[in-house]
Structure 1
């Protein structure tokens, strides 16, 4: 796969803002094919940067789609059409605004609502380092033994505070007003969702059930309000220890309609309780997500403890252990940068 990435101003570059699929080709002096950089991302030489679009089989848009005008996106779409290739880019941020449809551009994003967006919008897995290996200094996960009752874990921002829920909803109201004045007939408005409150409600429903055991750490702020490196290290260890000592982990959307915790739970080889709020999930045509999670539709959330207990009761000891191993394997082998590149190559028949 020959990848064309247009030149950008590297003097003011913030690497974290780049489309993650371009990073294996970011050398100290610009775009290139450094073997060392590719190795960091476990990307093979099958994927190569080329400096002329005429040589390319695919076009990567380096900066967030949000930073391009419609005219600029139309120009990219046109040049891709002329060369019979597709462009791939990403939409940054939590919110699910629709950036339109272009025949030759695919948008990757984490936020957004599946029922509202055109088919050219695809889910981008959250890019994570292997924190399991970094923290616990080993590659093989500790597989938990199956107990009669499921142990449900959660460590994070969850509170019944009404003032915090009001603040969260005000942000959505402001965003929707901005979109209304841009175009009152648009359909991509953000539903009000106080994530900390909704998480707390779900946690309380687990605690009220005798069918599961709970392993919860409530935080009043994101990352417990940690500011120093020492505090961040402490809360990070508490967070991953909580996942490690649980069978299942509650994964529900935050400010954006996606869950970072879903990918962290898979990375740790545990079983996500995925609460579906009309989410986009990566590679739904390739990955059988319901084989890796306890799938709970938002409308069924009040019955969540019963659903988890029922799921757990149907698993044999062998199935329970196998699911942990398969979830770790899924994260390692299908949700990495190299895996996304492979998926694009297969999808487009390159």
Structure 2
């Protein structure tokens, strides 16, 4: 028995697909000839798992179609709030998506769950839930295989992560100034982008590598 989802496909804009809630990507914005077999091969789920319904009274959960970033940046916050009200009147919990590496301001609303790949757990309310970034399988992309395998241990250790790890003190100072400006704009309600830590992430990575090198 599939889980029934209520959403509003009218919010979707193909050119801004990156803002579509990840759970809706297998079902919204696909070509008419896209089969359920292809859906399962690409996303690992299909219509046997989830079914989108037009009537919220028939659904088990509502999903705000686009990320909060989209509604803020394109002046559609009223549409997001209207969808939330319709869903709550039907007694549904509302899943939503806060996209990107940083996130944006989200209204505090009862019954709202915010999925995100960013933020600090200690600074976020309990209805914000962390989730992994969905990317192509690195084993397939880089190694052309699906089975997990052990790499041979070399004489020199290898540390992998995503992001720069080398900078200069003038760059670090500039990063701190940029973060200060970003945070000030947020607290003055001139920007919806979430505030960030002042400690430059590049410097943090560099010091981590230096510590490993010393050991």
TM-score band by shorter chain is 0.7 to 0.9
**CA positional deviation for 1:124:** 2.1
Do the aligned partners of 2:8 and 2:64 also contact (CA within 8 Å) in 1?
yes
1:141-179: CA deviations, max 9, x gaps? Answer: 2224789x9935136511141122123222211211111
**CA positional deviation for 1:127:** 0.9
Given the alignment of the two structures, is residue 112 of structure 1 paired with residue 119 of structure 2, yes or no? yes
| Aligned counterparts, 1:157-168, within 5 A | 157-168=164-175
Do the aligned partners of 2:26 and 2:43 also contact (CA within 8 Å) in 1?
yes
Say which is worse superposed, 97-106 or 15-24, in terms of deviation: 97-106
SS in 2 for 1:140: coil
Q: Which has the higher contact order (CA 8 A, sep 6+)?
A: 1
Give the TM-score taking structure 2 as reference length. Answer: 0.80
- Structure with greater helix share of residues: 1
Given the alignment of the two structures, is residue 93 of structure 1 paired with residue 95 of structure 2, yes or no? no
In 1, distance between residues paired with 2:106 and 2:181? Answer: 19
Do the aligned partners of 2:9 and 2:28 also contact (CA within 8 Å) in 1?
no
Do the aligned partners of 2:12 and 2:66 also contact (CA within 8 Å) in 1?
no
Residue-pair matches, total: 203
Corresponding residue for 2:7? 5
1:304-336: CA deviations, max 9, x gaps? Answer: xxxxxxxxxxxxxxxxxxxxxxxxxxxxxxxxx
Decide whether aligned partners of structure 1 residues 16 and 74 sit closer, same or farther in structure 2, where only a CA change above 3 A counts. closer
1:280-303: CA deviations, max 9, x gaps? Answer: xxxxxxxxxxxxxxxxxxxxxxxx
Corresponding residue for 2:130? 123
| Aligned counterparts, 1:145-156, within 5 A | 151-154=157-160, 156=163
Do the aligned partners of 1:25 and 1:37 also contact (CA within 8 Å) in 2?
no
Structure 1 residue corresponding to 2:178, chosen from 157, 171, 183: 171
Unaligned runs of 5+ in 1: 210-350
**CA positional deviation for 1:11:** 6.1
In 1, distance between residues paired with 2:146 and 2:102? Answer: 35
1:250-305: CA deviations, max 9, x gaps? Answer: xxxxxxxxxxxxxxxxxxxxxxxxxxxxxxxxxxxxxxxxxxxxxxxxxxxxxxxx
| Aligned counterparts, 1:213-252, within 5 A | none
In 2, distance between residues paired with 1:99 and 1:63? Answer: 13
Unaligned runs of 5+ in 2: none
Structure 1 residue corresponding to 2:140, chosen from 133, 139, 146: 133
In 2, distance between residues paired with 1:37 and 1:4? Answer: 23
Corresponding residue for 1:38? 39
Given the alignment of the two structures, is residue 60 of structure 1 paired with residue 63 of structure 2, yes or no? yes
Give the TM-score taking structure 1 as reference length. Answer: 0.51
Corresponding residue for 2:53? 50
SS in 2 for 1:108: strand
1:25-64: CA deviations, max 9, x gaps? Answer: 125368xx94145312110413112222222111111211
- Structure with greater strand share of residues: 1
